[in-house]
Structure formats: structure tokens, C-alpha cells
């Protein structure tokens, strides 16, 4: 199995097994899969933004992880892992893990979207009906409901509301429209310490050669007037706008696809989805901060108004239009698609100790509903980021800086969150004895 390095340190997890539980049915349903699919449907139904979607996925999965891990941690022969948000102190040692996971996700979704109670209540009742009646199931359900409520309460004032709008800019380099949702620059993190350390260094100066080079590329490959079926299909596949699961949802779908072929125990399933969703949500604040600070214009404005940029190497085209069909609704620097994708891909590769796990995926915006094959997580992330350039929505420097930020956020989370409480390593060790600079034992 190949390994995946994040920075100079290998940060990966051995896929473990859960302690035996006599109160579990022989073939239980998968609550992590079931409730993530419900969360995806909710995001679609509510036409949530990418930031709103990332926050919801993280809340649902942190709740399921803390509910399951809390019970696991109470077993005398197994000390479990550190919690994500809610300590395991009051967890019932014999609580049913499946009941706990379902009740936790149910409580989060009910708190966020009470108008969907019929659907959520029906799913919880179905999940509980499949479990043995009696004390363990009741205890697990009660513990899970408590965890879900605690997660919701902790996130009520997390910076996601009230809505704020940044006014339109004017002049060379400035995004020329008002931009709603900028309060997400203050979104409280789930796993990282300080979102501001990941804020980008900014786009190249308008008068620089690097800017002119990126300008020329975007003007060519993102031009709607130049027909290219492959580039259009790639843009559409990853576009994932309003009414879809959004870019973070596509990566939750990647995790669902991969774990279908590589089944995990419930504790490990919950941990993977918590890590991935935490990482994606924690890219939101740095991304919105960066966009808010630099307020950089999109290629459409940049190309149409190039006479004002002071760069003799950029040629204006007042009729230029992006392959995407619209110029973009937020400042250009950097690409949020890139940060979401890189963060999720890095977590998946780190968790499995392998970037080269192949998978097939159909996104919500895939042309014709056709799937695509990816040989690795990083290959999918690279395509997702690049799709914004060929769509004429971003410059390549914004793709690359977004990818780097996403990887960095994932590295911090993998190094510090949901760690083993004891053992030879806290997070887990990949089989890489030949890697001289591996420092997994130091976490």
C-alpha cells in the first residue's frame, strides 16, 4: 500500500477495529452512511451555500463521532480516542453504538432544520427498530441525543450568522459586486487553533509578469468563445452550485464511495467522516478571510478591463465571457473549491495511509449523470481545483494557493485531533519503515 506524505511528516491512521459489543445486531445498518446521505439531501433541499453545507456536515459527523467514541472510551479494556467537542465522561459503557450515532445525527439535524422532523424522526425510528430492545439501545439513544444537542448548542453563536455583505469594490483589481455571506470569515473552527494563520499571501501584483502569465492562461483556457467539450464537462462536473450537495458534499460522497469498497467498523467510520468534515469546514474561515482582505477581481472583469491594470502584457477583450457562463459571485482569490478538495483529499489519504485508492464518483452536477474514475484522492482534488480555471472563474495562482491551504489545514487536524489516548502512537502509524523522516511516534 502506498503512503501519502503531508508536508515533511507522515500523518496517517491505521484502520482499527471496534471492541466487541454483545448488544449489536449481527448485520446493523450503517448510521454514518445513512445520516450523511440525509445531510446531503438536506443541503440540496435547502439550497445551502458551500460554507453552510461544510458547517452542517461537520456538526453531524462530530456528533456521531463523539457519541460513538464516548461509549468506546468507557470500556475498561479500551481507552478510545480524544473527543472532538463533547467529553466522554458521562457516556454509558454498555450503550449501543448504533443507537448513539443515529440519535446524535438526528438531534443535530432536528435542531438545525425542525421543519424536516417527519423525515428525520422516521429515519431514527427505523434505525432503532432494527436494534435489540432494552437498556443498551435506550442508553445509547439517550447519550447520542445529548451529544447532538450539545454540538448544536456549542455552534449556535459560531460566526455563521447573522448574514453580512461586503460592498462592491471599484478600480483595478477589485471585485465589482456586493458579496453576501462574509460573516463566515469568523466561523469558529472545529479542529484547527487559529484560522488566520492560513490566510493567503495575496495574488501577484497586477503589473507583474506572474499576473500577466496567469491572465493569459485564463483568457485562453476559460474562454467561452473557444469550444472545448472536455473542459466544459470538467467545469460542469465540479461546478456544484445551489441546489446540489456543494463541493464539500461531493467529498463526503467520495468518502461514502471509498468506504463501500473498503468497509470500516463504526468507530473508524465515524472518525473518518469527522476528520474529513472538520477539515473542510475549517477551510471556510481562511478562505472567506482571504477573499474579504484581497477582494480580487475575477477573470471576466480583469480581461474586460485590462486597460486599467497598468500591465502592458495583458490585452483587454471587452467581449470576453467565461466558459462557466457567469463571472462568479465572490472575490476571486482564492478558490474555495480548491481548499475544500485538498483538505478532504489529504484527510482521506492520511487516514488510509494511501493516496492511491481508486474510486468512481458521480457529482450532483455531472453532465448526463456520468461518473468519473480517479486513481487517487489527490488526482480528484487537482481536477476539482483546475476545473475553476478552465471554467474561466479563477486564475491558476488562486487554485494553487487554495490547494496548499487545504492541505495545511488537513495536516494540522490529522496531527492534533481525535488522537489515541495511549499506545505506541497517538494517531496511528503507516507501514513506512523506509521513511527516515517519519515522526509519527512524536505526536
Burial of residue 90, with CB atoms counted within 10 A of its CB: 0-12 exposed, 13-18 middle, 19 or more buried: exposed
Question: Is residue 67 helix, strand or coil?
Answer: helix
pTM: 0.92
What's phi and psi for 24, nearest 5 deg?
-100, 145
SS3 422: coil
Question: Residue 59 above 80 pLDDT?
Answer: yes
With H, G, I as helix, E, B as strand and everything else as coil, classify residue 430: coil
Could you read off the pLDDT of 381-400 as tens digits, one per residue? 999 999 999 999 999 999 99
- Residues facing residue 359 across a β-bridge: 374
Residue 75 pLDDT level (bands cut at 50, 70, 90): confident
92 and 147, same domain (yes or no): yes
Pairwise pLDDT comparison (413 vs 10), residue with the higher score: 413
The CATH number of residue 214's host domain is: 1.10.606.20
Q: Do 260 and 328 belong to one domain?
A: yes
104 shares a domain with 198:
no
Let me know whether 197 and 306 are in one domain. Answer: yes
Residue 13 lies in a domain: no
Instruction: Looking at the structure, tell me whether residues 291 and 252 fall in a common domain.
Output: yes
Q: What is the pLDDT of residues 213-261, one digit of tens each?
A: 999 999 999 999 999 999 999 999 999 999 999 999 999 999 999 999 9
User: Under a CB-based contact definition with an 8 Å cutoff, are residues 165 and 259 in contact?
Assistant: no
pLDDT digits (tens, 9 = 90+) for 228-237: 999 999 999 9
Number of domains in the chain: 2
Does 25 have pLDDT greater than 90?
no
The mean per-residue pLDDT over the stretch 172-201 comes to: 98
245/285 same-domain check: yes
Integer angstrom CA distances of residue 219 from 207, 309, 374, 396: 17, 15, 28, 11
Phi, psi of 285 (to 5 degrees): -60, -50
Confidence (pLDDT) at 422: 76
Neighbours of 220 (CB within 10 A): 11
Domain-terminating residue out of 154, 189, 206: 154
176 and 136 together in one domain:
no
Average pLDDT, the chain: 90
**Judgement on whether residues 177 and 226 belong to the same structural domain of the protein:** yes
* CB distance 11 to 352 below 8 Å: no
Summarised one tens digit per residue, pLDDT across range 296-320 is 999 999 999 999 999 999 999 999 9
Is residue 82 in a domain?
Answer: yes
User: What is the span of the domain harbouring residue 75?
Assistant: 31-154
Which tens digits make up the pLDDT trace of 315-324?
Answer: 999 999 999 9
Contact 12, 440 (CB under 8 A): yes
Tell which wins on pLDDT, 1 or 183.
Answer: 183
Round to whole Å and give the CA distance between 327 and 440. Answer: 44
Of 87, 67, 64, 62, nearest to 282 by C-alpha is 62
| 132/195 same-domain check | no
Amino acid at each position: 500500500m502506498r503512503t501519502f506524505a503531508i508536508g515533511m511528516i507522515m500523518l496517517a491512521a491505521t484502520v482499527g477495529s471496534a471492541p466487541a459489543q454483545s448488544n449489536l445486531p449481527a448485520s446493523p445498518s450503517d448510521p454514518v452512511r445513512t445520516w450523511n446521505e440525509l445531510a446531503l439531501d438536506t443541503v440540496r433541499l435547502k439550497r445551502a451555500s458551500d460554507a453552510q453545507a461544510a458547517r452542517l456536515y461537520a456538526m453531524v459527523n462530530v456528533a456521531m463521532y463523539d457519541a460513538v467514541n464516548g461509549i468506546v472510551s468507557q470500556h475498561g479494556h479500551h481507552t478510545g480516542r480524544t473527543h472532538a467537542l463533547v467529553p466522554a465522561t458521562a457516556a454509558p459503557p454498555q450503550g449501543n453504538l448504533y443507537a448513539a450515532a443515529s440519535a446524535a445525527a438526528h438531534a443535530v439535524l432536528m435542531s438545525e432544520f425542525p421543519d424536516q422532523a417527519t423525515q428525520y424522526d422516521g429515519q431514527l425510528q427505523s434505525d432503532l427498530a432494527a436494534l435489540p430492545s432494552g437498556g443498551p439501545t435506550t442508553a445509547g439513544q439517550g447519550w447520542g441525543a445529548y451529544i447532538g444537542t450539545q454540538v448544536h448548542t456549542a455552534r449556535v453563536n459560531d460566526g455563521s450568522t447573522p448574514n453580512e455583505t461586503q460592498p462592491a469594490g471599484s478600480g483595478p483589481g477589485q471585485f465589482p459586486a456586493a458579496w453576501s455571506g462574509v460573516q463566515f470569515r469568523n466561523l469558529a473552527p472545529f479542529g484547527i487553533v487559529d484560522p488566520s494563520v492560513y490566510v493567503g499571501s495575496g495574488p501577484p501584483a497586477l503589473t507583474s509578469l506572474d499576473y500577466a502569465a496567469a491572465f493569459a492562461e485564463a483568457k485562453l483556457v476559460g474562454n467561452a468563445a473557444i469550444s472545448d467539450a472536455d473542459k466544459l464537462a470538467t467545469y460542469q462536473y465540479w461546478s456544484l452550485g445551489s441546489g446540489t450537495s456543494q463541493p464539500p458534499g461531493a467529498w463526503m460522497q467520495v468518502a461514502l464511495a471509498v468506504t463501500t469498497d473498503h468497509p470500516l467498523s463504526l468507530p473508524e467510520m465515524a472518525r473518518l467522516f469527522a476528520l474529513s468534515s472538520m477539515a473542510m469546514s475549517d477551510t471556510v474561515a481562511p478562505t472567506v478571510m482571504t477573499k474579504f482582505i484581497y477582494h480580487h477581481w475575477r477573470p471576466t472583469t480583469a480581461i474586460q478591463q485590462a486597460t486599467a491594470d497598468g500591465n502592458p502584457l495583458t490585452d483587454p477583450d471587452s467581449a470576453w465571457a467565461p466558459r462557466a457562463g457567469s463571472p462568479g459571485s465572490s472575490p476571486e482569490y482564492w478558490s474555495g473549491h480548491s481548499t475544500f478538495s485538498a483538505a478532504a483529499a489529504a484527510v482521506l489519504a492520511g487516514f488510509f495511509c494511501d493516496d492511491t485508492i481508486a474510486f468512481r464518483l458521480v457529482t450532483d452536477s455531472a453532465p448526463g449523470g456520468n461518473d468519473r474514475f480517479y486513481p487517487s484522492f489527490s488526482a480528484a482534488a487537482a481536477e476539482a481545483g483546475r476545473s475553476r480555471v478552465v471554467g474561466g472563474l479563477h486564475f491558476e495562482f488562486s487554485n494553487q494557493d487554495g490547494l496548499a491551504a487545504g492541505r495545511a489545514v488537513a495536516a494540522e487536524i490529522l496531527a492534533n485531533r481525535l488522537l489515541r489516548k495511549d499506545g505506541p502512537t497517538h494517531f496511528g502509524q503507516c507501514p513506512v519503515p523506509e521513511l527516515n523522516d517519519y515522526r509519527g511516534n512524536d505526536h
